[in-house]
Amino acid sequence: MFVIITYDVNEKRITKVRKILRKYIFWVQNSVFEGEVTEGKLAKCESEIKKVIHEDEDSVFIYKIYRNGRFEKKVLGLEKSVNDEFI
């Protein structure tokens, strides 16, 4: 499957997250990675990321795109939205 992974993590953890992602897919832009990966390798990647991020502070978005056109979105950590910015 093809995946796009974006992240918004504390500066202290950016390098660690980037190093993990580089082992599995390609860095294409600041905080954005993409590439073909198996379910097994993606699961291992997610496991490694979960050990590094602080789930109450950091966000990692994983977009899975399947060959049949179906896609899924998964969030590791904090799911931020536009509405969070308003009081």
Tokens of 41: 């390798």
∠ CA(25), CA(30), CA(32), 5° rounding? Answer: 40
* Amino acid 79: pLDDT: 87
**Could you give the domains of the chain?**
2-65 (3.30.70.240)
pTM of the model: 0.88
Encode the chain (87 residues) as per-residue pLDDT tens digits: 999 999 999 999 999 999 999 999 999 999 999 999 999 999 999 999 999 999 999 999 999 999 998 999 999 999 876 555 544
Phi and psi of 84, rounded to 5°? -65, -20
